[in-house]
Structure 1
Protein backbone atom coordinates (compact mmCIF):
# COMPACT_ATOMS: atom_id res chain seq x y z
CA UNK A 1 0.00 0.00 0.00
CA UNK A 2 2.20 2.87 1.19
CA UNK A 3 5.53 3.22 2.94
CA UNK A 4 3.70 3.79 6.23
CA UNK A 5 2.75 0.08 6.30
CA UNK A 6 6.47 -0.71 6.19
CA UNK A 7 6.73 0.74 9.71
CA UNK A 8 5.13 -2.37 11.23
CA UNK A 9 7.78 -4.16 13.28
CA UNK A 10 10.13 -1.16 13.39
CA UNK A 11 11.99 -1.33 16.72
CA UNK A 12 13.02 1.83 18.51
CA UNK A 13 16.41 1.91 20.21
CA UNK A 14 15.99 1.28 23.95
CA UNK A 15 16.65 4.00 26.52
CA UNK A 16 17.02 4.08 30.29
CA UNK A 17 15.43 6.33 32.88
CA UNK A 18 16.17 6.65 36.59
CA UNK A 19 12.95 7.23 38.53
CA UNK A 20 13.55 10.19 40.83
CA UNK A 21 11.56 11.26 43.91
CA UNK A 22 11.72 14.84 42.69
CA UNK A 23 10.06 14.06 39.35
CA UNK A 24 7.33 12.09 41.12
CA UNK A 25 6.69 15.04 43.43
CA UNK A 26 6.67 17.50 40.49
CA UNK A 27 3.97 15.48 38.76
CA UNK A 28 1.71 15.09 41.80
CA UNK A 29 2.01 18.81 42.55
CA UNK A 30 1.16 19.63 38.94
CA UNK A 31 -1.96 17.44 38.97
CA UNK A 32 -3.00 18.46 42.49
CA UNK A 33 -2.65 15.03 44.11
CA UNK A 34 -1.85 15.55 47.80
CA UNK A 35 -1.54 11.85 48.71
CA UNK A 36 1.59 11.64 50.91
CA UNK A 37 2.59 8.23 49.50
CA UNK A 38 4.09 10.11 46.55
CA UNK A 39 6.56 12.14 48.61
CA UNK A 40 6.81 10.58 52.07
CA UNK A 41 8.48 7.18 52.30
CA UNK A 42 7.00 6.40 55.71
CA UNK A 43 3.47 7.17 54.48
CA UNK A 44 4.09 4.93 51.45
CA UNK A 45 5.31 2.05 53.63
CA UNK A 46 2.34 2.48 55.98
CA UNK A 47 0.12 1.93 52.92
CA UNK A 48 1.94 -1.29 52.00
CA UNK A 49 4.41 -0.01 49.41
CA UNK A 50 8.11 -0.88 49.41
CA UNK A 51 9.02 2.73 48.66
CA UNK A 52 7.58 5.82 47.00
CA UNK A 53 5.44 4.57 44.10
CA UNK A 54 4.90 6.36 40.82
CA UNK A 55 1.47 7.85 40.02
CA UNK A 56 -0.45 6.07 37.27
CA UNK A 57 0.43 8.53 34.49
CA UNK A 58 4.14 8.73 35.36
CA UNK A 59 5.08 6.57 32.36
CA UNK A 60 4.36 9.66 30.26
CA UNK A 61 7.03 11.53 32.26
CA UNK A 62 9.48 8.68 31.62
CA UNK A 63 8.79 8.89 27.90
CA UNK A 64 9.05 12.69 27.88
CA UNK A 65 12.31 12.98 29.82
CA UNK A 66 14.01 9.72 28.85
CA UNK A 67 12.65 8.78 25.47
CA UNK A 68 12.43 10.19 22.00
CA UNK A 69 11.36 13.79 21.52
CA UNK A 70 8.31 14.55 19.40
CA UNK A 71 10.58 15.71 16.58
CA UNK A 72 12.72 12.56 16.80
CA UNK A 73 9.63 10.33 16.62
CA UNK A 74 8.36 12.24 13.58
CA UNK A 75 11.72 11.85 11.84
CA UNK A 76 12.03 8.16 12.75
CA UNK A 77 8.49 7.39 11.53
CA UNK A 78 8.70 9.83 8.59
CA UNK A 79 5.64 11.76 9.77
CA UNK A 80 4.66 15.37 9.13
CA UNK A 81 4.65 16.98 12.60
CA UNK A 82 1.92 19.50 11.74
CA UNK A 83 -0.46 16.68 10.84
CA UNK A 84 -0.05 14.61 14.02
CA UNK A 85 -2.67 13.95 16.69
CA UNK A 86 -2.38 11.86 19.84
CA UNK A 87 -5.17 9.30 19.50
CA UNK A 88 -5.17 7.30 22.73
CA UNK A 89 -2.89 6.01 25.46
CA UNK A 90 -3.08 2.79 27.47
CA UNK A 91 -0.95 1.61 30.40
CA UNK A 92 -0.69 -1.82 31.97
CA UNK A 93 1.23 -2.17 35.22
CA UNK A 94 2.74 -5.60 35.88
CA UNK A 95 4.78 -4.81 39.04
CA UNK A 96 5.15 -1.70 41.18
CA UNK A 97 7.60 0.98 40.07
CA UNK A 98 9.32 2.98 42.81
CA UNK A 99 11.58 5.99 43.17
CA UNK A 100 15.12 4.71 42.74
CA UNK A 101 14.24 2.16 40.05
CA UNK A 102 16.18 2.32 36.80
CA UNK A 103 13.97 1.43 33.86
CA UNK A 104 14.96 0.28 30.41
CA UNK A 105 12.31 1.05 27.83
CA UNK A 106 12.06 -0.66 24.46
CA UNK A 107 9.44 0.04 21.84
CA UNK A 108 8.18 -0.93 18.44
CA UNK A 109 5.54 -0.11 15.88
CA UNK A 110 3.00 -2.90 16.32
CA UNK A 111 0.32 -1.86 13.82
CA UNK A 112 -0.51 0.63 11.10
CA UNK A 113 -3.93 1.20 9.61
CA UNK A 114 -4.94 3.64 6.90
CA UNK A 115 -8.46 5.07 6.87
CA UNK A 116 -9.91 7.02 3.96
CA UNK A 117 -13.00 9.19 4.34
CA UNK A 118 -14.86 11.85 2.42
CA UNK A 119 -12.82 14.65 3.97
CA UNK A 120 -9.42 12.98 3.59
CA UNK A 121 -7.60 10.16 5.22
CA UNK A 122 -5.38 9.24 8.10
CA UNK A 123 -2.74 6.78 9.19
CA UNK A 124 -3.26 5.16 12.59
CA UNK A 125 0.12 4.10 13.98
CA UNK A 126 0.24 1.98 17.14
CA UNK A 127 3.42 2.00 19.21
CA UNK A 128 3.99 -0.43 22.08
CA UNK A 129 6.57 -0.05 24.84
CA UNK A 130 7.95 -2.40 27.51
CA UNK A 131 9.40 -1.07 30.75
CA UNK A 132 11.86 -3.29 32.62
CA UNK A 133 13.46 -2.48 35.96
CA UNK A 134 17.10 -2.83 37.00
CA UNK A 135 16.44 -6.55 37.67
CA UNK A 136 15.22 -7.06 34.07
CA UNK A 137 11.69 -7.62 35.38
CA UNK A 138 8.82 -6.46 33.19
CA UNK A 139 7.06 -3.78 35.25
CA UNK A 140 4.80 -2.04 32.74
CA UNK A 141 3.54 -1.91 29.18
CA UNK A 142 2.15 1.02 27.25
CA UNK A 143 0.41 1.39 23.94
CA UNK A 144 -0.29 4.63 22.14
CA UNK A 145 -1.98 5.56 18.94
CA UNK A 146 -0.54 8.31 16.77
CA UNK A 147 -2.80 9.73 14.07
CA UNK A 148 -1.32 11.32 10.97
CA UNK A 149 -3.87 13.20 8.89
CA UNK A 150 -3.43 13.43 5.13
Structure 2
Protein backbone atom coordinates (compact mmCIF):
# COMPACT_ATOMS: atom_id res chain seq x y z
CA UNK A 1 0.00 0.00 0.00
CA UNK A 2 1.57 3.25 -1.13
CA UNK A 3 -0.83 5.85 0.21
CA UNK A 4 -3.13 6.37 3.14
CA UNK A 5 -6.56 4.82 2.84
CA UNK A 6 -9.27 6.52 4.87
CA UNK A 7 -11.18 3.94 6.91
CA UNK A 8 -13.43 5.97 9.18
CA UNK A 9 -14.26 9.54 10.13
CA UNK A 10 -16.21 10.93 13.06
CA UNK A 11 -16.62 14.07 15.11
CA UNK A 12 -17.49 14.62 18.74
CA UNK A 13 -17.15 17.08 21.57
CA UNK A 14 -14.82 16.25 24.47
CA UNK A 15 -17.12 15.74 27.45
CA UNK A 16 -15.81 17.01 30.81
CA UNK A 17 -17.63 14.28 32.77
CA UNK A 18 -16.07 11.55 30.62
CA UNK A 19 -12.61 13.09 31.12
CA UNK A 20 -13.16 13.19 34.90
CA UNK A 21 -14.40 9.56 34.97
CA UNK A 22 -11.43 8.44 32.85
CA UNK A 23 -8.96 10.21 35.12
CA UNK A 24 -10.48 8.42 38.12
CA UNK A 25 -10.51 5.04 36.35
CA UNK A 26 -6.83 5.17 35.44
CA UNK A 27 -5.74 6.96 38.62
CA UNK A 28 -4.35 9.79 36.48
CA UNK A 29 -2.75 12.75 38.18
CA UNK A 30 -4.66 15.98 37.76
CA UNK A 31 -3.38 17.47 34.53
CA UNK A 32 -5.50 20.57 34.79
CA UNK A 33 -7.91 20.91 31.91
CA UNK A 34 -5.88 18.80 29.46
CA UNK A 35 -7.03 15.27 28.69
CA UNK A 36 -4.89 12.32 29.85
CA UNK A 37 -2.67 10.88 27.09
CA UNK A 38 -4.72 7.75 26.40
CA UNK A 39 -8.16 9.41 26.64
CA UNK A 40 -8.29 9.44 22.84
CA UNK A 41 -9.49 5.83 22.98
CA UNK A 42 -12.63 7.11 24.73
CA UNK A 43 -13.15 9.57 21.87
CA UNK A 44 -12.84 6.70 19.38
CA UNK A 45 -15.48 4.62 21.15
CA UNK A 46 -17.69 7.69 21.66
CA UNK A 47 -17.34 8.43 17.94
CA UNK A 48 -18.48 4.94 16.98
CA UNK A 49 -15.15 3.26 16.25
CA UNK A 50 -15.49 0.24 18.52
CA UNK A 51 -13.12 -2.72 18.34
CA UNK A 52 -15.82 -4.63 16.47
CA UNK A 53 -16.24 -1.82 13.92
CA UNK A 54 -12.47 -1.53 13.43
CA UNK A 55 -12.02 -5.26 12.85
CA UNK A 56 -14.90 -5.17 10.35
CA UNK A 57 -13.26 -2.30 8.44
CA UNK A 58 -9.93 -4.18 8.37
CA UNK A 59 -11.65 -7.48 7.55
CA UNK A 60 -9.89 -9.08 10.54
CA UNK A 61 -11.27 -11.91 12.68
CA UNK A 62 -11.70 -10.21 16.08
CA UNK A 63 -10.75 -13.44 17.89
CA UNK A 64 -7.33 -13.40 16.18
CA UNK A 65 -6.31 -9.76 16.72
CA UNK A 66 -3.37 -8.54 18.78
CA UNK A 67 -2.53 -4.92 19.53
CA UNK A 68 1.06 -4.61 18.39
CA UNK A 69 1.97 -1.02 19.18
CA UNK A 70 0.60 2.42 19.98
CA UNK A 71 2.15 5.88 19.97
CA UNK A 72 0.86 9.43 20.20
CA UNK A 73 2.26 12.65 18.78
CA UNK A 74 0.87 15.66 20.64
CA UNK A 75 0.80 18.86 18.63
CA UNK A 76 -1.59 20.99 20.67
CA UNK A 77 -3.64 20.35 23.82
CA UNK A 78 -7.16 18.95 23.75
CA UNK A 79 -9.44 20.05 26.59
CA UNK A 80 -13.07 19.45 27.56
CA UNK A 81 -15.44 21.36 25.31
CA UNK A 82 -13.21 21.01 22.24
CA UNK A 83 -14.94 19.80 19.11
CA UNK A 84 -12.76 17.11 17.53
CA UNK A 85 -12.93 15.57 14.09
CA UNK A 86 -10.99 12.33 13.83
CA UNK A 87 -9.90 10.67 10.61
CA UNK A 88 -8.67 7.07 10.76
CA UNK A 89 -6.33 5.92 8.00
CA UNK A 90 -4.73 2.60 7.16
CA UNK A 91 -1.17 3.49 6.20
CA UNK A 92 0.09 0.00 5.52
CA UNK A 93 -0.93 -3.63 5.36
CA UNK A 94 1.50 -6.53 5.06
CA UNK A 95 1.41 -10.28 5.59
CA UNK A 96 4.17 -12.48 6.93
CA UNK A 97 4.20 -16.02 8.39
CA UNK A 98 0.44 -16.32 8.69
CA UNK A 99 0.07 -12.88 10.26
CA UNK A 100 -1.40 -9.72 8.76
CA UNK A 101 -0.13 -6.38 10.04
CA UNK A 102 -2.28 -3.26 9.65
CA UNK A 103 -0.66 0.08 10.38
CA UNK A 104 -3.18 2.74 11.40
CA UNK A 105 -2.96 6.48 11.88
CA UNK A 106 -5.69 8.58 13.45
CA UNK A 107 -5.47 12.34 13.05
CA UNK A 108 -7.46 14.25 15.67
CA UNK A 109 -8.31 17.68 14.27
CA UNK A 110 -9.09 20.67 16.46
CA UNK A 111 -10.29 23.76 14.59
CA UNK A 112 -9.33 21.99 11.32
CA UNK A 113 -5.70 21.54 12.41
CA UNK A 114 -4.01 18.39 13.74
CA UNK A 115 -3.94 18.33 17.54
CA UNK A 116 -2.84 14.72 18.05
CA UNK A 117 -1.75 11.94 15.74
CA UNK A 118 -2.13 8.38 17.01
CA UNK A 119 -0.25 5.55 15.31
CA UNK A 120 -0.88 1.88 15.98
CA UNK A 121 -0.32 -1.57 14.58
CA UNK A 122 -2.91 -4.33 14.76
CA UNK A 123 -1.93 -7.91 14.02
CA UNK A 124 -4.25 -10.66 12.86
CA UNK A 125 -2.68 -14.02 13.69
CA UNK A 126 -4.27 -17.06 12.10
CA UNK A 127 -3.07 -20.58 11.43
CA UNK A 128 -1.96 -23.52 13.51
CA UNK A 129 -1.28 -21.30 16.53
CA UNK A 130 -4.83 -19.93 16.43
CA UNK A 131 -6.62 -20.55 19.72
TM-score range, shorter chain: 0.7 to 0.9
Note the C-alpha offset of 1:141.
Answer: 0.1
**Selected match of 1:33 from 4, 24, 28:** 28
Note the C-alpha offset of 1:136.
Answer: 1.0
Counterpart mapping for 1:12-23 below 5 A: 12-23=7-18
Counterpart mapping for 1:1-150 below 5 A: 9-35=4-30, 37=31, 44=32, 52-116=33-97, 121-133=98-110, 135-150=111-126
Runs of 4+, deviation exceeding 4 Å: none
Q: Which has the higher helix share?
A: 1
Note the C-alpha offset of 1:58.
Answer: 0.9
Q: Which has the higher strand share?
A: 2
Q: Which runs of 5+ in 1 are unaligned?
A: 38-43, 45-51
Q: Which runs of 5+ in 2 are unaligned?
A: 127-131
Q: Normalization by structure 2: what TM-score? A: 0.87
60-69 or 96-105, which deviates more: 60-69
Mapped partners of 1:34, 1:9: distance in 2: 36
For the pair shown, which has the larger CA radius of gyration, 1 or 2?
A: 1
Note the C-alpha offset of 1:148.
Answer: 0.1
1:71 partner SS: helix
2:21 partner SS: helix
1:95 partner SS: coil
Q: Normalization by structure 1: what TM-score? A: 0.77
Note the C-alpha offset of 1:10.
Answer: 2.6
Cα RMSD (Å) of the superposition?
1.8
